Amino acid sequence: MGIIERKDLLLGRIRDHKHLSLKDGFLLTLTLSIPSMLAQASSVVMQYIDAAMVGALGAGASASVGLVSTTIWLFSGLATSLCTGFYVQVAHHIGGCRWGDARAVLRQSFPACLLLSVLLGAIGVAISGQLPVWLGAEEAIRRDATIYFLVFSLCMPFMQLNALCGGMLRASGNTQTPGRLNVWMCVLDVLFNFLLIFPTRSVQMGPFALLVPGAGLGVTGAVLGTALSFVVCSLAMFHALTRRSLELNLQQDSGSYLPSISTIRRCLRISLPLGVEHFIMCSAQIMATIIVSPLGTLAIAANAFGITLESLCYMPGYGLGDAATTLVGQSLGAGRRRLARQLGFVSVGLGMAIMSVMGAVIYFASPWLMAFMTPDTMVQQLTVEVIRIEAFAEPMFAASIVAYGVFVGAGDTLLPCCMNLVSIWMVRIPLAAIMVGTMGLHGVWVAMAAELTFRGAIFLWRLWGKGWIGKKVTE
C-alpha cells in the first residue's frame, strides 16, 4: 500500500469512528506533516536564496529587506488569520462527512478573503513611503526598503489566495499538492531572481563564457521575483483546489459565493483572536526592529540573517502544526475527543524531537550557511554568534508552534493568543530593551531565547489540560 493510500485509509478511520492505534496516529501525523514540511522547506530555501542573492549586493541591501520584514509578517499574518477561520470550519465539516457544507464554506471564503487582501494591500501602498522612516532606518537604505514593501503590498491578493487554497487542501487531508506547488514556487523564485536582481553578465563555464541576461534591478528585482512566483503558484493552487480536489471540487455542486452570517460568525470566532494576536505579536517584532535599528546597518543585517537562519529550525514545527490542525479538526468534527487529544500529544512530542535536532544542526552549520549567504565577514560573525544563543530554545519553541496548531484545529484560539501576547510583550520586549544597552544585538537574542522557552512551557501547560477540547466550531 502506497503512502497516500495509507494516509487516506487512516483519515477514513477517523471519520468512520474506527480504532486508531498510537502507532497509526504517529504514522498519520508524520505522513501528513512531511509534505507540509517540504512546503515549509521550499519557503525557507526561497528565503535563503533571496537573502544570499540580496546579500551579494552588500549589507545595505540586506538591511533594507530585513527592516520591513516584520511589517510584511504583520500583513501576511492578518491575511492568514481570516483564511484559518474558514479552513478550520472545512476540516470539521469533512471530519463529520458533511461534504456539501465544506464546499459551501469554501465558496464563501473567496470574496471575504479577496476583500481583506485588497484592503491590506491598499494600506500597504499608502504607508510604504513613510514606513522606513517610522522604523528608524538610515537614509541610505530607505529607498530600497520602500520599494520592497510597495511591491509586496501590490501582491497581497495573490499571497492570500495562495494561503487560503493551501490551507483548504490541507484541511481536506491533501498535503501533497500544496507541498509540490510550493516547491515549484521556490524554483520559480530562484529563476526570476536570477534574471531580475543582477545585470547582464558573463558566466565562465570551463573554457566557455556564457552571456546571462539580467535586468539589474537589485533589491527591486528580488521582491519582483518573489511576487511573480506567488502569482503563478496561487493560480495553480486555486485550480487544484476548485477543479481537481476530490473533496472540495466546486464542479460537484452549486451554491452562493455570498458569505452567510453564520459562516462569517464562526470564522470570526476563530479568526479575530488570531488577527489581534498577529497584530500585537508583529507589532512587538516591529518594536524589536526599532530596538535593533540604532545599533546600525551591521546589526540590522545580522538580525535579518539570523531570523532567516532560524527558519531552518522551525520549518518542521510549522509543518507538524499544519498536520495537527487537520487531524484535531477532523477528529473533533467526527466527535472523537479522546483521539483529538492523543493526536495532539503525538504531534507536539514529534515536533519537539525534530526541532531539537534542527537546533543542533543550526548551531554547528551556521558558519557555513552564513558564508553562503553573504561575503561580509563581519555580518557573518555577528549572525553566527546570535543564532547560537537562540538554538538552545528550539525544543520549547517547537512545543509552542505545534501546540498552537492543535488548538487552532480545535477552534480554541482566544486563550492561546493571549498567552502569546503576554509572553512576547511582558518577557521578550522588556528584556530586549534592558539588555540591548549592555550586550547589543546579543542581548536582543538572549531575550528572544528566554521568551521562547517561557512560551513553550505555558503552551505545554495548556495542552496538558482539557479545556481546549470542548470548543464547538460548526454547530
Q: Does 384 score more than 90 pLDDT?
A: yes
Q: Does 408 score more than 60 pLDDT?
A: yes
Looking at residue 56, what is its pLDDT? 72
Q: Look at residues 342, 409, 344 and name the one whose alpha carbon lies nearest to residue 94.
A: 409
Kindly report, residue by residue over 280-331, the tens digit of the pLDDT.
777 887 888 788 888 888 888 888 888 878 877 877 888 888 888 888 888 8
Q: Does 127 score more than 90 pLDDT?
A: yes
State how far Cα 206 lies from the chain centre: 40
User: Whole-angstrom Cα distance, residue 149 to residue 120?
Assistant: 12
Looking at residue 51, what is its pLDDT? 65
State how far Cα 265 lies from the chain centre: 25
Q: Quick one: which H or E segment has residue 200?
A: strand 199-205
**CA geometry: angle 89, 4, 314, nearest 5 deg:** 65
Q: Is the dihedral of CA 187, 193, 195, 199 positive or negative?
A: negative
Helix, strand, coil shares of the chain as percentages rounded to 5? 85, 5, 15
More confident of the two residues 123 and 275:
123
Q: Look at residues 387, 6, 38 and name the one whose alpha carbon lies nearest to residue 180.
A: 38
Cβ pair 340, 469 in contact under 8 A = yes
Looking at residue 237, what is its pLDDT? 96
Map out the domains of the chain as residue ranges: 3-470
Looking at residue 118, what is its pLDDT? 96
Q: Does 2 score more than 60 pLDDT?
A: no
Of the candidate ranges 392-401, 405-414, 424-433, the one whose mean pLDDT is the lowest: 405-414
Cβ pair 370, 309 in contact under 8 A = yes
Looking at residue 65, what is its pLDDT? 79
Which residues are CB-neighbours of 134 under 8 A, at least 6 positions away? none
Q: Does 30 score more than 90 pLDDT?
A: no
Give the burial class of 289: count Cβ atoms within 10 A of its Cβ; 0-12 exposed, 13-18 middle, 19 or more buried. buried
Looking at residue 462, what is its pLDDT? 93
More confident of the two residues 53 and 144:
144
Q: Report residue 277's pLDDT band, with 50, 70 and 90 as the boundaries.
A: confident
Kindly report, residue by residue over 214-258, the tens digit of the pLDDT.
888 988 998 999 899 999 999 999 999 999 998 899 998 889 999
Q: Does 472 score more than 60 pLDDT?
A: no
Of the candidate ranges 5-14, 61-70, 101-110, 428-437, the one whose mean pLDDT is the lowest: 5-14
Q: Does 475 score more than 60 pLDDT?
A: no
Give the three cell numbers for residue 334. Answer: 467526527
Give the three cell numbers for residue 273. Answer: 483572536
Across the range 391-410, mean pLDDT stands at 92
Give the burial class of 471: count Cβ atoms within 10 A of its Cβ; 0-12 exposed, 13-18 middle, 19 or more buried. middle
User: Whole-angstrom Cα distance, residue 372 to residue 309?
Assistant: 11
Cβ pair 284, 423 in contact under 8 A = no
Looking at residue 46, what is its pLDDT? 65
Q: Does 48 score more than 70 pLDDT?
A: no
Kindly report, residue by residue over 185-213, the tens digit of the pLDDT.
888 988 898 899 888 887 776 677 778 78
Looking at residue 240, what is its pLDDT? 96
State how far Cα 298 lies from the chain centre: 26
Q: Report residue 433's pLDDT band, with 50, 70 and 90 as the boundaries.
A: very high
Q: How many helices (H) and strands (E) does the chain have?
A: 17, 2
Q: Which residues pair with 205 in a beta bridge?
A: 208
User: Whole-angstrom Cα distance, residue 311 to residue 315?
Assistant: 6
Question: In whole angstroms, how large is the CA radius of gyration of the chain?
Answer: 22
